[in-house]
Amino acid sequence: AAKADGKDRCREFDPRLRHEQAERFRTVERLRAGLAAEEFTVHYQPIVRMRGDATAGFEALVRWTPPGQDPIGPDRFIPAAENSGLIVGLGEWVLRRACLDAAPWWHTYGANISVNVSPRQLAEHDFTDVVRGALNAAGLPAAALVLEITEGVLVRSGGHAELTLAHLAALRAEGVRVAIDDFGTGYSSLAYLRDLPIDILKIDKSFMPDDATDAQQAAMVRAVVDLARSLRLVTVAEGVETAQHAELLRTLGCDKGQGWLFGRPGPAAAASDRLASEAAVTVS
Ligand code: C2E
Ligand code: MG
Ligand code: MG
Ligand code: MG
């Protein structure tokens, strides 16, 4: 606590940090206004089965387009939204939007929807009800939904680790599946695999070999896939950019893949078109 106090005191008097703080405050104010003005959209990126390459589902990825500006990616505003707590409202909006968009995809094609959830959302008392509400409003069963959490979810729960785990347990009991996102980028990955109630492991894109002939890089991917399999987790590889990546993943028995090779994130209409044209090919 003493350390934290000291840090705060420094912040107050260091002009550079004060400037940063003011900057962050402005970002939060703009985010708040943007949420009210409906400047956010959700894009969808396909997640495909590695056996064959049918679309298994989509991941919802939020975008922000302030008036007169190009769309801003989440890496540039999610941190500010998390620090300010605004992520709770934004995350709920994304969840509800994604469930509504994905309802026909589920009912017509059996495609599921994955939504990213921040630790702040899971530390709210009503999170389980928020998820139930979003599913109900869209007419979706729990089985259609995957919640993506990161390794830091318990550490970053602001002392609400028990509540976080209770939400995840309640939702899983109802049929919602939980994926651990960006696996392998944190520093105590194995402990999290043991402690978190999860169904799916998403292998971070940094594991995709940049050199297809590098045996060591391939061995790393193999180790993660084998680990996930022995824990009976479904594996999803992120950042599948090349045919070599896909070939490696098929050889290793990875279940699903997501990346530019299979499709970039795009608006809901593009996701609908993709499913419709896939179905047309399958039928004929
Ligand atoms: P993520 O959940 O790991 O999402 C995957 C990110 O990888 C996306 O970036 C996607 O566009 C990008 N990506 C997909 N395929 C490829 C590929 O083949 N190569 C490369 N290099 N990148 C690829 P995006 O959309 O910029 O999202 C960044 C992060 O922001 C997400 O990472 C997620 O952690 C967070 N995020 C996005 N939407 C939400 C949201 O609604 N709520 C929360 N809490 N976080 C979100
Ligand atoms: Mg994700
Ligand atoms: Mg990810
Ligand atoms: Mg990632």
Give nearest CA residue, ligand 1 atom 35: 74
Using one digit for the tens of pLDDT, what is the confidence trace for 171-215?
A: 999 999 999 999 988 766 788 888 899 999 999 999 999 987 899
Q: Is 74 in the pocket of ligand 1 (CB under 6 A)?
A: yes
Least confidently predicted of 122-131, 133-142, 193-202, 252-261: 193-202
In the prediction, which pLDDT does 226 show?
96
In the prediction, which pLDDT does 244 show?
96
Which pLDDT band holds residue 112 (cuts at 50, 70, 90)?
very high
Q: How far apart are CA 174 and CA 199, in angstroms?
A: 13
Instruction: Select from 74, 53, 139, 148 the least CA-distant residue to 101.
Output: 139
Q: How far apart are CA 150 and CA 177, in angstroms?
A: 14
How many CB atoms are located within 10 Å of the residue 114 CB? 27
- The token pair at 244 is 């070599």
Beta bridge partners of 57: 47, 112
- What residues contact residue 47 under an 8 Å CB cut-off, 6+ apart? 55, 56, 57, 58, 59, 114, 236, 256, 257, 258, 262
Q: Is 197 helix (H, G, I), strand (E, B) or coil?
A: coil
Residue 277 has pLDDT above 60, yes or no: yes
For residue 95, the ligand 1 atom closest to its alpha carbon is: 41
Cα(59) to ligand 2 centroid in Å equals 7
Residue 153 identity (one-letter amino acid): V
Q: Is 81 in the pocket of ligand 1 (CB under 6 A)?
A: no
Q: Is 62 in the pocket of ligand 1 (CB under 6 A)?
A: yes
Which pLDDT band holds residue 282 (cuts at 50, 70, 90)?
low
Q: Is 119 in the pocket of ligand 1 (CB under 6 A)?
A: no
Spell out the SS3 assignment of 49-106: ECCCCCEEEEEEEEEECCCCCCCECHHHCHHHHHHHCCHHHHHHHHHHHHHHHHHHHH
- The token pair at 138 is 């869209």
Q: What is the mean pLDDT of residues 44-49?
A: 98
Q: Which of 64, 65, 78, 101 to mutate to test the pocket of ligand 1 (most atoms within 8 A of CB)?
A: 78
ipTM of predicted assembly, 2 dp = 0.97
Q: Considering the chain, what is the average pLDDT of its residues?
A: 92
In the prediction, which pLDDT does 4 show?
47
Question: Which of residues 155 and 217 earns the better pLDDT score?
Answer: 217
For residue 115, the ligand 1 atom closest to its alpha carbon is: 41
- The token pair at 206 is 């940094």
Q: How far apart are CA 246 and CA 262, in angstroms?
A: 10
Residue 106 has pLDDT above 50, yes or no: yes
- What residues contact residue 202 under an 8 Å CB cut-off, 6+ apart? 148, 179, 180, 181, 182, 183, 236, 237, 238, 258
Q: How far apart are CA 193 and CA 225, in angstroms?
A: 13
Which pLDDT band holds residue 9 (cuts at 50, 70, 90)?
low
For residue 150, the ligand 1 atom closest to its alpha carbon is: 34
Q: How far apart are CA 121 and CA 261, in angstroms?
A: 32
Is pTM, for the whole model, over 0.90? Answer: yes
Give nearest CA residue, ligand 1 atom 46: 116
